[in-house]
Amino acid sequence: MEVIQNFVRSSRNFTELSGFQAHNHSSLYTNGRAKFLVLPNSWAGVGAVFPNVEVRHLHAVIVLGEELHFTKAALRLNLTQSALSRQITEVEKQLTFRLFTRDNRRVVRVELTDAGQVFVAEARSSLLHMERAFHLARTAHDGADNVLTIGHSHEADQAWVSDLLAVRLPLYPNLAIRLISQFSIELVRSVLAGELNLALVTAPPKDSQIEASPFVLSPLYAVLPEGHAAAEKEQLVLQDLAKDEWILFTRRVHPIVHDAIMGAARREGITPKRGHDIITPQEAVHLVSEHVGVAILTKPTALGFRAEGVVVRPLSDASLCFQTCVIMRKDDDSRLTNEFVRSFLRRYADQRRPPKPIGSPASARVVAMKKANPQTRG
């Protein structure tokens, strides 16, 4: 276990890596459960190339790359705008090229350069792997035999998360669950990259490498001020909101849902007066309570965050009702992962359609899931 502790200490930030000495030969360590292979020169030169780049710098680049706006990114990071700007400048100075282009007329807005897009993607993956290293080391230390890393979006119903945690597998009594929250589109990428074993995703995009098993329908809801003309209706149509400013999840949070809402609006001949893009449901509900506009959210987020003076009503448009699925890689033949998915789906047998992979014929594994789910949710 000493080797794990040494690894954790050495991974705290990139500054410390500069003092890590390269090995001249491959070394295999074991703690009785897991083996760790240290390759020759595996850390050599990292600290020398980037002696002042720390995890916080990578996080700052990622958040600014998502927001493309210094003020919004600084708020997410709990930094001043000037402090964030200094961190970005430090990274770019170390790299000797720019990750962002600045708009001289609107200084707070930025765009990612081609190099910046690559850097943000790889930095996000690096942080995820570092988190995974800490978690797996801790799990090994605590004696868990197996770990499943499961993703969910910030709009996920907390009842779904509770059901994930409630799964018990007799063959894996010491199973440890690690939960990660990401944007829906990031969850798909992480599953494909093998960084997540499975994920709960509403309206996942079609991908031949992904197997998706629907377990519940997720309609959209409108969040309105109590005094709104349509607040007394049991169900709403988009025309009821045609004269309002709309508050929606920004497209990168959930592109399929965002595009479906805007597509339905176009079919109805509706052009929202102005759109407000948000990332969290709390933002949306707060803006509605301030009479900024009306929000359109998924069911869990709409019902999970209430505020005084705000009402929530379902939308009746059938095109705005989406399947929430358990997704996993189609080539994942792990017995643990498949047993876990089957057990989870049993809880929703009466609420879901027969599971099938998106955009391809049902695999033998999905057929087995169907046969294994006769029970009702307990």
Q: What is the pLDDT of residues 8-29, one digit of tens each?
A: 344 443 333 333 333 333 333 3
Q: Are residues 251 and 109 in the same domain?
A: no
Per the domain annotation, does 376 fall within a domain? no
Tens digit of pLDDT for each residue in 192-246? 999 999 999 998 988 899 999 999 888 899 999 999 999 999 899 999 999 999 9
The residue among 142, 175, 194 that closes a domain is 142
Coil, helix or strand at residue 263: helix
**Number of domains the chain is built from:** 3
Distance CA 222, CA 143 (A): 47
Q: Are residues 200 and 180 in the same domain?
A: yes
Cβ-proximal residues to 361 (8 Å cutoff; 6+ apart), any chain: none
Whether pLDDT at 104 is above 70? no
Residue with tokens 């519940």: 216
Q: How far apart are the first and last CA of the chain?
A: 41
- Residue 139 banded pLDDT, cuts 50, 70, 90: low
Q: Are residues 134 and 68 in the same domain?
A: yes
Per the domain annotation, does 85 fall within a domain? yes
Per the domain annotation, does 378 fall within a domain? no
Whether pLDDT at 129 is above 60? yes
Q: Are residues 133 and 259 in the same domain?
A: no
Cβ-proximal residues to 174 (8 Å cutoff; 6+ apart), any chain: 143, 144, 145, 146
Q: Are residues 314 and 355 in the same domain?
A: no
The residue among 112, 142, 172 that closes a domain is 142
Q: Are residues 14 and 43 in the same domain?
A: yes
% pLDDT > 70, the chain: 72
Q: Are residues 122 and 31 in the same domain?
A: yes
Q: Are residues 151 and 175 in the same domain?
A: yes
Averaged confidence pLDDT in the chain: 77
Whether pLDDT at 81 is above 50? yes
**Better pLDDT: 192 or 51:** 192
Tens digit of pLDDT for each residue in 316-370? 888 898 999 999 999 998 999 999 999 999 888 754 444 444 444 444 444 444 4
Range of the domain at 340: 143-208+325-371
Q: Are residues 296 and 314 in the same domain?
A: yes
CA dihedral 120, 123, 129, 131 (to 10 degrees): -100
Whether pLDDT at 251 is above 80? yes
